[in-house]
Amino acid sequence: MTIRVLRRRYWLMRRLVGTSDLLMFRAVAPGLPPAAADESSGGSSVFVGSVGAHIDDVIASAPGAMAALVRARARMGHCLACLRGTDGTVFSSGWVTVGPAVVPFEAGLRLAVPAGVTYLWDYVTEPNWRGRGMYRKLLMGVIKHDPPGRAIVIYCAAANTASRRGILAAGFRLCGTVRIQRWGALRRFTAGGRSWWSVAGTVDLDRLRARSLEAEGRKA
């Protein structure tokens, strides 16, 4: 068997079988009046929205496939959050979804976000701007922008140190861990010390959170 065939089989197996260990975090919008569309500080601004000049600029400057993705997500009602410099350079960006809504998730799953929850996903800092606090600043701006008292949820892979530290530095608190194991079309979830199976499809954020929070309660 050639190296090429072995490699192809390896990647096929990786798609069918695998484990994702995730950390779930929660913050509560601090009760300030909802911020205006932008929040300026130290030569950069945070913008959150699904329409407007900031999103048009991002679409205009993004490569073709990325521009199409941004346009499609905005059309579905997801809001783009971005931290930009005074010259319009995007340092860091990601998505803000207000539930009820369905968003892409890990392991080929989709996630149902319930009403009353704001869910943050697919954040990235441009490689040249990493390690300069851009992610932390963006997440802090997003928390401030959300209506008072609302639960804001974000997750990262347990191995993603930069993301975990940025999320914690922005004011989120760890609210639980979730393990997802892929076996072909089957998914095995472990959260809050309990496991359950499901077929690939849509998983409820409430269910993951409830199990995770239960575990926190037991530890406390």
| 89 binds ligand COA per the rule CB under 6 A | no
Kindly give, in sequence order, each residue whose CB lies less than 8 Å from that of residue 181, ignoring residues fewer than 6 positions away: 18, 19, 187, 188, 190
CB of 103 to ligand COA, least distance (A): 13
Residues numbered 160 to 179 that lie near ligand COA (CB under 6 A) are 160-163, 165-166, 169
| 134 binds ligand COA per the rule CB under 6 A | yes
CB of 108 to ligand COA, least distance (A): 17
Peptide bond into 100 cis (omega under 30): yes
Q: Which is nearer to ligand COA, 161 or 202 (CB)?
A: 161
| 95 binds ligand COA per the rule CB under 6 A | no
| 131 binds ligand COA per the rule CB under 6 A | yes
Binder among 73, 136, 145, 182 for ligand COA (CB under 6 A)? 136
Q: Which is nearer to ligand COA, 124 or 186 (CB)?
A: 124
User: What is the contact mask toward ligand COA in residues 23 to 62, using x (rule: CB under 6 A)?
Assistant: ----------------------------------------
| 7 binds ligand COA per the rule CB under 6 A | no
Q: Which is nearer to ligand COA, 10 or 158 (CB)?
A: 158
Instruction: Show the DSSP H helices in 25-133 as ranges.
Output: 53-61, 64-75
Q: Burial level of 129, CB count in 10 A (0-12/13-18/19+)?
A: middle
| 72 binds ligand COA per the rule CB under 6 A | no
Q: Burial level of 119, CB count in 10 A (0-12/13-18/19+)?
A: buried
Q: What angle separates helix 134-145 from helix 161-169, to the nearest 10 degrees?
A: 40
SS3 131: coil
CB of 75 to ligand COA, least distance (A): 23
| The residue to which tokens 């900031």 are assigned | 54
Count the helices and strands in the chain (H runs, E runs). Answer: 6, 13
Going by the DSSP 8-state scheme, the letter that residue 165 receives in this structure is H
Contact residues toward ligand COA (CB under 6 A) are 92, 123-125, 130-136, 156, 160-163, 165-166, 169
